[in-house]
Structure 1
């Protein structure tokens, strides 16, 4: 392989990683609108980054064996999870207590990370069919998604201070809209 083809492949993978990471940014922006400490923001970014490594890796391995049927199922599941989380956040914003029903801690963090990484599973299936370089691909997806999640969370945290009580409803609306976009591409 010559340097131009390697560079071209790196640029292509980086663009794909950015495209996949934008959902992590969007969800991070929505999650950042609830009160989070910096330590939570750090762990959320790491967790979503790990899921963006693990999910396409599994997808690539399965994609080498199967067709892309599971990609559609993964997208539908991810969209449905984001819609449910968005609705939950919107309803929680109208309750009198400050504690949301699902928070990005423990099981809630796993649900958030899974919902935004299911589309990377679908991409992994496709890349597995075409025989992409596994290690480079999944590491780029993970690192870019982690960084974009942190950026989204930090921007959301900053905006949350300006919006006050309405910030959680806005965050839920972002998750809801992104879930609908996954289910009904327009």
Structure 2
């Protein structure tokens, strides 16, 4: 039960960000690939964190949250004010910003688990993150149909608010 709660908590960023980006009505192939990459990164980052253990534990938690939050704000700002251009989440830069923004916070969870006797299943975390990403994309796609041409700005605003909430929480 504890592992499932950790997995869902780590997947919430991916769900929220996917909800925002899903409003752009991007190709299904993009949604599938992004979910897979997000899940994979949610396996790799906590595993690296577990291996890192005590070495950087005091500073990594705040740093990872800070980086994650600002990546989401940057991505949201890019979506809202991209000089009139459509945000291309399908570009390597857009995809990397998305995946790093929603995955980096799983690293300090791994560090924390490596320090104590907390057992976490990094595979469970990855699978849940992928499923939550896909769910966010599906719901976002339906909402994008409702918002029409304003969906990109709405999605960008959601990402900015999510990032700012992480910064000031």
Is TM > 0.5 for Structure 1 vs Structure 2? Answer: yes
Residue 155 of structure 1, aligned match among 126, 139, 160: 139
- Does residue 77 (structure 1) correspond to residue 67 (structure 2)? The answer is yes
Deviation at 1:68, TM superposition (A): 2.9
- Deviations along 1:87-141, whole A, 9 cap, x unmatched? 111113x72x5x32x42432321221011111111211111111433xx521011
Q: Verify the 8 A CA contact 1:52 1:145 in the aligned structure 2.
A: yes
- Deviations along 1:145-185, whole A, 9 cap, x unmatched? 00000000011011101110110111001110111121111
Could you list the runs of 5+ residues in structure 2 that have no partner in the other structure?
none
Q: Aligned pair in 2 of structure 1 residues 66, 84: CA closer, same or farther (>3 Å)?
A: closer
Could you list the runs of 5+ residues in structure 1 that have no partner in the other structure?
1-10
RMSD: 1.5
Residue 89 of structure 2, aligned match among 73, 94, 103: 103
Q: Aligned partners of 2:162 and 2:46: how far apart in 1?
A: 20
Residue 175 of structure 1, aligned match among 146, 151, 159: 159
Q: Aligned partners of 1:104 and 1:63: how far apart in 2?
A: 34
Aligned pairs, how many? 169
Q: Verify the 8 A CA contact 2:75 2:94 in the aligned structure 1.
A: no
Deviation at 1:143, TM superposition (A): 0.3
Larger radius of gyration: 1
- TM-score w.r.t. the length of structure 1 is 0.85
Q: Hey, what does 1:143 align to over in structure 2?
A: 127
Q: Hey, what does 1:125 align to over in structure 2?
A: 111
Please state whether the residue corresponding to 1:68 is helix, strand or coil.
helix
Q: Aligned partners of 2:149 and 2:76: how far apart in 1?
A: 16
Deviation at 1:30, TM superposition (A): 0.7
- TM-score w.r.t. the length of structure 2 is 0.93
Q: Verify the 8 A CA contact 1:64 1:131 in the aligned structure 2.
A: no
